[in-house]
Amino acid sequence: MASISREKIQSLVELQTVEADIRRVETLLAGTPVKVAAVTLEVEAFEATLAEEDGQLQAVQKAYREQEREAQVALAQIRKSNERLATVKTNKEYQLILKEIDDLKRKNSLIEDEMLACLDRIEAADAAVKQKKAQVLALRQTADRQKAEIERETQQLTAQLTDLAQAGREAARAVDPILLECFRRVQEQVKQRAVAPVVDAVCQGCHLNIPWQLFNELHRFDELTFCPHCRRIIFCQEEEKA
Ligand SMILES: [Zn+2]
């Protein structure tokens, strides 16, 4: 077994701490695109609803214009029929044209009713679109602020990562080479923290009890010791003095 000392273990713990910080910052940075996408998606969803409502408004406006045209045609026909009234020769013809005018007036009245209903719908749709436009505007501003905030965070994290990487290289250099090799091997096996303190004979890596004899030996910091359960490098952690 490789010889060990409190200091050697301490350098290993420091390396592990820095590396855990690096992983934490890397995870945060990896989440950045997801955060930006979520913000963008919310705005886009709202913009899509606005476009839909705007489309509905335009459809009602178009229907209104068509009714307006129909009403004009009906009025022109009424005018023409009135002109014809002056030129008719027989009473029968006169009655026929009067009936025609009557029908046209009824038709025109129906169109006008539809136009009024249309105007109500236009008013409501226009108000809804205006409200939604204001909401979209506010949402875009919020999204821009959030994106700027994410961008600031990303820059901070990137700078932090650069510092941590440097600290990690220094911490690795401070570890005894044989111990470092062993540490890397265990890291490969456990995929997590490779060095764990033992408190009250409990390995803090796997939370299982280690034999008391082994625990007693740990206090001496004589040789490199592994947890019999999880194979992590273990060391005795002095109890915190209150
Ligand atoms: Zn363990």
Q: Give the pLDDT confidence of 51-93 residue by residue, as tens digits.
A: 999 999 999 999 999 999 999 999 999 999 999 988 988 999 9
- Asked if 50 contacts 133 with a C-beta cutoff of 8 angstroms, the reply is yes
Residue 204 Cα to ligand 1 midpoint, Å, equals 7
Residue 229 Cα to ligand 1 midpoint, Å, equals 5
Q: 21 in a domain, yes or no?
A: yes
Q: 241 in a domain, yes or no?
A: no
- Asked if 197 contacts 16 with a C-beta cutoff of 8 angstroms, the reply is no
- Examine the pLDDT at 184 and tell me if it is beyond 60: yes
Residue 201 Cα to ligand 1 midpoint, Å, equals 10
- Examine the pLDDT at 238 and tell me if it is beyond 90: no
Residue 95 Cα to ligand 1 midpoint, Å, equals 108
Distances (CA, A) of 136 to 129, 151, 167, 220: 10, 22, 45, 67
pLDDT band at 192 (very low <50, low <70, confident <90, very high): confident
**207 and 125 within one domain:** no
**147 and 55 within one domain:** yes
- Asked if 104 contacts 78 with a C-beta cutoff of 8 angstroms, the reply is yes
Q: Where does a domain end: 148, 174, 200?
A: 174
C-alpha count within 13 angstroms, C-beta hemisphere, residue 112: 9
Residue 187 Cα to ligand 1 midpoint, Å, equals 13
Q: 85 in a domain, yes or no?
A: yes
Q: 242 in a domain, yes or no?
A: no
Helix runs in 86-174, H state only: 91-174
Q: What is the mean pLDDT of residues 220-224?
A: 89
Residue 235 Cα to ligand 1 midpoint, Å, equals 11
C-alpha count within 13 angstroms, C-beta hemisphere, residue 85: 15
**118 and 131 within one domain:** yes
Listed residue (15, 23, 21) closest to 169, CA to CA = 15
Residue 232 Cα to ligand 1 midpoint, Å, equals 6
Q: Where does a domain end: 132, 157, 174?
A: 174
Residue 211 Cα to ligand 1 midpoint, Å, equals 11
Residue 194 Cα to ligand 1 midpoint, Å, equals 10
Residue 208 Cα to ligand 1 midpoint, Å, equals 6
* DSSP H or E segment with residue 235: strand 233-236
Residue 231 Cα to ligand 1 midpoint, Å, equals 6
Residue 202 Cα to ligand 1 midpoint, Å, equals 8
The domain tally of the chain equals 2
Angstrom distance (rounded) from CA 161 to CA 168: 10
Residue 197 Cα to ligand 1 midpoint, Å, equals 9
**20 and 36 within one domain:** no
**150 and 61 within one domain:** yes
Q: Which two tokens stand for residue 44?
A: 């886009």
**207 and 161 within one domain:** no
Q: Which residue range forms the structural domain that includes residue 153?
A: 31-174
- Asked if 214 contacts 225 with a C-beta cutoff of 8 angstroms, the reply is yes
pLDDT at 125: 95
Q: 158 in a domain, yes or no?
A: yes
Angstrom distance (rounded) from CA 57 to CA 61: 6
